[in-house]
């Protein structure tokens, strides 16, 4: 019995090691990422090394690329930056409050692409674009800046809290829908440094 069990364990160990070996044997192009980001429309793999330089070695980007968790959600300093980045790059088409304009609303619980309910999906849509006027934004936003924009879009959300899958249970308890006119101080405490002027 004992022998049979340990043989089985050995067999499993070998299989795991072989699978692990295959992963390691892959060419190491760019940063090793745990998450594979895919174009929202075509499903093609997105290369996060391409585009605007910088903003790839922050704690937030490293965490996000490994786990898909955006640690800028609800961080006031990052929301302050995200608001400004969103105003420059997105609000012209999606509306000041993400209520929708030329592009669809981003502040409710209806998504053309349901993958956008996850921050990894939203990141991919912003990074790689979608259809028509929704072009890729990786030339004007670094991955770190995209995470700040994602945090801001989540902050603008006015839909039912049960559909806010990007919030953890504690965040859901304290969730308040966005009210127009909320602003964040220039020196708001948090993980994001003020954007360069």
Among 106, 147, 151, 156, binds ligand HEC (CB under 6 A): 106
**Rounded distance between C-alpha atoms, residue 89 and residue 94, angstroms:** 10
Among 77, 90, 167, 192, binds ligand HEC (CB under 6 A): 90
159: contact with ligand HEC by CB under 6 A: no
Residues 131-150 that bind ligand HEC (CB under 6 A): 131-134, 137, 149
151: contact with ligand HEC by CB under 6 A: no
Contact 100, 91 (CB under 8 A): no
Close Cβ partners of 160 (under 8 Å, ≥ 6 residues apart): 109
Helix or strand holding residue 128 (H, E) = helix 119-128
Q: Residue 7: CA atoms inside 13 Å, Cβ hemisphere, count?
A: 4
70: contact with ligand HEC by CB under 6 A: no
Please report how close the Cβ of residue 95 comes to ligand HEC at its closest, in angstroms. 10
**Rounded distance between C-alpha atoms, residue 146 and residue 144, angstroms:** 5
Please report how close the Cβ of residue 103 comes to ligand HEC at its closest, in angstroms. 3
Binding region for ligand HEC (CB under 6 A): 89-90, 92-94, 102-104, 106, 111-113, 116, 122, 125-126, 130-134, 137, 149, 153
């Amino acid at each position: 019995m004992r022998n049979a069990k340990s043989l089985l364990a050995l067999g499993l160990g070998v299989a795991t090691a072989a699978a692990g070996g295959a992963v390691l044997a892959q060419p190491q192009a760019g940063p090793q990422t745990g998450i594979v980001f895919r174009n929202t429309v075509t499903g093609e793999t997105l290369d996060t090394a391409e585009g605007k330089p910088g903003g790839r070695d922050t704690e937030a980007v490293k965490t996000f690329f490994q786990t898909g968790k955006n640690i800028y959600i609800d961080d006031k300093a990052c929301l302050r930056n995200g608001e400004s980045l969103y105003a420059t790059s997105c609000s012209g088409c999606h509306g000041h409050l993400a209520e929708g304009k030329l592009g669809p609303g981003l502040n409710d619980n209806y998504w053309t692409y349901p993958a956008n309910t996850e921050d990894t999906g939203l990141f991919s849509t912003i990074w790689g674009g979608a259809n028509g006027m929704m072009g890729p934004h990786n030339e004007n936003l670094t991955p770190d800046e995209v995470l700040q924009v994602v945090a801001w879009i989540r902050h603008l959300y006015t839909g039912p809290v049960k559909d806010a899958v990007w919030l953890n249970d504690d965040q859901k308890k304290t969730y308040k829908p966005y009210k127009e006119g909320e602003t964040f101080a220039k020196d708001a405490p948090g993980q994001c440094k003020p954007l360069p002027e």
